[in-house]
Amino acid sequence: MNLFYTVESIFSMIVQWGILFLEFAGVAVLLATCGKSVADCLKRNPHVRLKLAQGIALSLEFKLGSEVLRTVIVREWSELAVLGAVVGLRGALTFLIHWEIKNEESRAGKERKFHS
């Protein structure tokens, strides 16, 4: 039985490090994207909204990955309910941002055809 607890604690530690890594990656992507978007905005880049939306979507994917990992170590039903709500909200945000990206790409394509 002692081996079981050792393996469980090692597994839990690996999952927790994975969660931290994915959370950090999501925050790093978001901060880098926002910094670049501010610079692009100052340069009056017409595609700044598209690049910002793509960066936010990528950041949310990392954050969603960390939430999926978090489901592995959940012990209580109440934690699982909160986690489900967070995953649902992040999933909805990801869907809306991808929809915005699609619309922005369509608009940019129409602008290119108009100016050609």
Q: What is the pLDDT of residues 22-59, one digit of tens each?
A: 999 999 999 999 999 999 999 998 888 889 999 999 99
CA dihedral 76, 78, 81, 86 (to 10 degrees): -100
Domain total in the chain: 1
Per cent of the chain over pLDDT 70 is: 97
Gap between the Cα atoms of 84 and 31, Å rounded:
26
Which token pair is 84? Answer: 């489900």
Q: Residue 54: which domain range?
A: 2-115
